[in-house]
Every structure is written in C-alpha cells, then in structure tokens.
Amino acid sequence: MSYCVFMHRTDSIYDDSPAEQYQFPRQYLGRAEGSVGDWIVYLEPTKVPGTRGYFAIARVERIIPDSKAPGMYLALIEPGSYLEFVNPVSFSELNGPIERGLLNEAGKLSGRAQAAVRPISPQDFQSIIERGLDGRDAVLPRVPETAHPPAGFAEDQAPLVSEQLRDRIRRLTSRVVRDRLFRRIVLRAYGERCAITGLKLINGGGRAEVNAAHIRPVEANGPDLVTNGLALSGTVHWMFDRGLISLSDDLNILVSRQINDVDRIRGFINPSGLAFFPDRAGDRPHPHFLRWHREHCFKH
C-alpha cells in the first residue's frame, strides 16, 4: 500500500465523482493498485484557471474494470472517507513544489509531474495535509513540522514520519472532527449566509449563526463534500431535514404542501424563490444530491 496523487478537474472527460469513484486508463493501473487500502490526495492541475491545487483526501477501497468503458478502470472510494481541505494547497511554494519527490537530481521538475496517477512519499503527503487541514486550528494533533527531506533522506526516520501521519489520518475518521471541518468548508463557500433566507447573522462572540447541513445525510452515505452541503439557519435546517423544504436542480426553493402556514414560510425565504448559492460554480449543490433529497426526504 502507498499514498498516491490522483489528478482531477471538474470539467474532466472521465467518469469521476471524487467522493465515490475515480476513472483512469489501463496505463495507470499498476500505480493505482498500490493505493488500494490507503489514502490518496486529489490535485487539480495547474492548467485549470483558478486551480485549487491539492484539495481533498480519500481512501481507495478497491479497483475494478469499468464495465461501461473497455480499457478503463475505476478506483472506488471508501464511503465516508472523502474529506475536502479547509485550505486548498498550491502545487508550488516559494521554494518549489510541495511534492519534493517530483524533483530530479538537478533539482528541476521532472516529467512525473504530468502523470495523472502517481505515488507520493509519506513526507510529501504529510506536508500537504498539514497545510490543507490547518493543524493550527487544533483540528489535528500537533507534531513537529516535517521538513522536506533532502536527497538521501535517512531511512530510519521514515517509520516515525509514517507513524505520525497515520495517527493524524486515524483522527480524521472521527465524526466530531469531520463535522467541524465540513462546517468550515460549507460556511466559507456560502459566505456564512443562509442559502434559503439570505440572512447572515453573527452572534456576540463573532460566530456565524448558521449550520452546515448535509443534503444527503451522513447516515444515508452522504459524503462530506461541499456540493453535498448547504449553509442553513437553525429553523431552516430543521425544516430541510424533515422534508418541509427542498431545492430543484436549478436551485428553486420548494415548499411542501404539508406546511401548515405556507404564506408565513414564503415570507422569510428569498423573495425571488431562488436559493443563494456559492460564487464558485464547483461549490454549488450537485443535482445528484438534490434529487436524492427530493426523492427520499421532501414531502410533496
């Protein structure tokens, strides 16, 4: 088993759904197989305008041939393992790429950087999640910063780095930790504003009075994905979870006929009847999750 980098872009021609599966051609099979049972980090290519760089981690459960596309394979993601970074991590910093393993003997970027699937060292993987999951916020346990290993990195240090890294990742399976990270990601995407009412309320302690709601709940295998999230005020969150309101694929607000005071409810939602949504298109609710809510939760 080994850590890997999977390149992904939102406009990909491949049948990708980062929280569920990653499609790749046969040429990458050998590399991808090494990641089975271990963690990968998603990278948006530098050629993508406004690239997020490294933006999430997930665990590969297994790899199967894609029955719909000869010569293609699917890396199936372990349900509930996908986690987006609080802080997307740039491919390069002032001293060069985060993946120091991509440098050749001359210290230049090698052709490996173009590979859509590639192994990554524990040291580089740890450097990325340190930045992406913001250890300063006490979400992750603090350990000494791991410097980028120079050429000839001592072998006897590798087990220590790996042990520290795996301890961090184990903590990311905690529902409390994941909920906290999910809240930060969703509220940032929505500017701490309720998607239904448009209200942005900040309490006396400077905390936003809005919740991060899963569209498809965790209990129903809903991922901790920003496109599976909505920023909702307390009452609206309660109504959404109970199927009294929902959203169309076009983000029109749907009000259940089972509400006993429809006029008052319509009085506090956005007068346009359209939900407020994130500026970044890739952060907006995905129709896949909205359909699930309408079909399994919404009271028509």
The 10s digit of each residue's pLDDT in 69-85 is 999 999 999 998 999 99
Lowest mean per-residue pLDDT among 6-20, 59-73, 217-231: 6-20
- Give the pLDDT band of residue 119 (cuts 50, 70, 90): very high
Which residue would you say has higher pLDDT here, 233 or 135? 233
- β-pair type (253-255, 245-247): antiparallel
Separation of alpha carbons 117 and 235, rounded Å: 44
Look up the domain containing 191 and give its range: 175-296
Residue with tokens 């210290």: 107
Residues 6+ away with beta carbon under 8 Å from 52: 44, 88
**Are 155 and 18 part of one and the same domain?**
yes
Separation of alpha carbons 187 and 229, rounded Å: 9
Q: Is 118 helix (H, G, I), strand (E, B) or coil?
A: strand
Region 251-272: what's the mean pLDDT? Answer: 87
∠ CA 183-224-92, rounded to 5° = 85
Q: Which helix (H) or strand (E) holds 7?
A: strand 4-7
Residue 216 pLDDT > 70: yes
**Are 127 and 40 part of one and the same domain?**
yes
Which residue would you say has higher pLDDT here, 163 or 196? 196
**Are 235 and 167 part of one and the same domain?**
no
Q: What is the CATH number of the domain that holds 152?
A: 3.10.590
Domain-ending residue, one of 139, 171, 203: 171
Q: Can you give the pTM of this predicted structure?
A: 0.80
**Are 42 and 158 part of one and the same domain?**
yes
Separation of alpha carbons 50 and 44, rounded Å: 10
Question: Torsion-angle region of residue 71: left (phi > 0), alpha (psi -120 to 50) or beta?
Answer: left
Q: Rg of the Cα trace of the chain?
A: 21
> Helix count (H) and strand count (E) of the chain?
7, 13
**Are 92 and 204 part of one and the same domain?**
no
Residue 32 pLDDT > 70: yes
Q: How many domains does the structure of the chain reveal?
A: 2
Domain-ending residue, one of 135, 150, 171: 171
**Are 273 and 180 part of one and the same domain?**
yes
Domain-ending residue, one of 132, 151, 171: 171
Lowest mean per-residue pLDDT among 117-131, 151-165, 174-188, 256-270: 151-165
**Are 11 and 156 part of one and the same domain?**
yes
Region 104-118: what's the mean pLDDT? Answer: 90
Which residue would you say has higher pLDDT here, 154 or 266? 266
Tokens coding 123: 């040291």
Separation of alpha carbons 116 and 291, rounded Å: 31
Cβ-contact 200, 210 below 8 angstroms: yes
Cβ-contact 84, 224 below 8 angstroms: yes
Residue 8 pLDDT > 70: yes
For residue 212, what are the β-bridge partners?
Answer: 231
Separation of alpha carbons 219 and 61, rounded Å: 19
Q: Hey, what amino acid is at 155?
A: E
Q: Distances in Å between the alpha carbon of 225 and those of 67, 111, 129, 149, 300?
A: 26, 31, 17, 32, 26
Lowest mean per-residue pLDDT among 159-163, 206-210, 279-283, 296-300: 159-163
